Structure 1
Amino acid sequence: MEGHDSTAVNIVEETPKERKGKAPLLATPPGGSSTRKPLAVVQPGAPKAAAAGYRRGLAVFDVVLRIAGVATALAAAIAMGSTDQTLPFFTQFFQFKASYDDLPAFTFFLIANAITATYLVLTIPISIVCILRPKAVKPRVVLMFFDAVMVALTTSAAGGAASIVYLAHNGNSDANWPAICQQFNDFCQKISGAVVASFLSVVVLMALVVLSAFSL
């Protein structure tokens, strides 16, 4: 029209050749539903939480084993310390009596098991600290080292006492050592029970070493 400026806008239609190389638009299939599956969201702290729970469970089992070890070691020490039998017959110059302190192996057995029981009692608080702080490494290393030392001590004491118990039951004809358990029946029963309880303490201590290794 005359008297007005007109502006012409040219709309250029894009040809298929010009659209080549561009990312195609995502089309929604008929029905309006998308076929893409949502991505799963993984929390970064989940594996760490699972590892902490695993270590905490091992620490709880560690405390239970230490309490059991205290019971077995203390039972072995008490059984050996209370072993004393006197036969009802005697002569004018000699009385037949058997006691644990007559043999150094049994005395060492009593001391070693008492030390083991005391050690396990003192380490229970450290094991409880490992429950509260499952990521702590130094307490576990300390416990594993001293547990291994207690394994050696208790095994040596139980092994030495077991050899004496064997001689008491069977004797040794080559060394002219007669079996005494036919006369001192109560004495032999108590020392045999003490040795069995001590070997149970050895099993508990070995399990504690394995638990500490798994926790590390």
Structure 2
Amino acid sequence: MATTDETLPFFTQHYQFYANFSDLPALTFFVVGNAIAAGLLVLSLPVSIAGIICANAAGPRLFLLVLDLVLVALTTAAASAATAIVYLAHTGSDKAHWVAICIRFDGFCEQSSGALVASFIAIVILMLMVVMAALALRKC
């Protein structure tokens, strides 16, 4: 999503239309939320390794469970906010007199939709991680 931008050619260079993810706060929240989640998952690798080495230690496993729950909430909120905006970009809103921009910015909308699908797949994987972490904590 962070590389999603498109410029429509117009009659002159002074009058061009741009679509960029940073123009919409919900899409910026989506990028930042997913970046935070990815960063925390990478930083949690040493804790995961410590939990594997010390199989009886419940502390690192409980920490990972709480961290995974927070990451599920963060990525779900970010993806949901972005989904609402991308839906409006695809369909527009007659009541609010907003036109669908995907008629013109098709590359922008395709990349945005692909990023949303990938994010929802990541949310399902994070949910599976929460279940696995809870089961591992139960065995301690």
Question: TM-score, normalised on structure 1?
Answer: 0.61
- Bigger helix share: 2
Following superposition, which runs of at least 4 residues in structure 1 exceed 3 angstroms of deviation? 90-94
Match of 1:157 in 2: 78
C-alpha offsets along residues 31-53 of structure 1, whole Å, 9 cap, x if unaligned?
A: xxxxxxxxxxxxxxxxxxxxxxx
Give % identity.
54
Which protein shows a greater Rg? 1
Report whether the alignment pairs 1:142 with 2:72: no
1:143-190: CA deviation from partner (whole Å, max 9, x where unpaired): 001111111111000000001111111111111111111110100011
User: Partner of 1:23 in structure 2?
Assistant: none
Q: How many residues align?
A: 137
Which amino acid in 2 is paired with 1:214?
Answer: L
* Residue pairs, 1:16-95, within 5 angstroms: 80-90=1-11, 94-95=15-16
1:201 corresponds in structure 2 to 122
Structure 1: where are the runs of 5+ without partners? 1-79
Give the deviation of 1:208 after TM superposition: 1.1
When the two chains are superposed, the root-mean-square deviation of aligned CA atoms in Å is 1.4
Matched, 1:174 2:98: no
For residue 86 of structure 1, give the secondary structure of its aligned residue in structure 2: strand
Deviation of residue 94 (structure 1)? Answer: 3.3
**Whole-angstrom distance in 2 between the partners of 1:161 and 1:102:** 12
TM-score, normalised by the number of residues in structure 2? 0.92
2:17 corresponds, among 96, 104, 113, to 96
How far does residue 91 in structure 1 lie from its aligned partner after superposition?
5.7
| Amino acid corresponding to residue 190 of structure 1 in structure 2 | Q
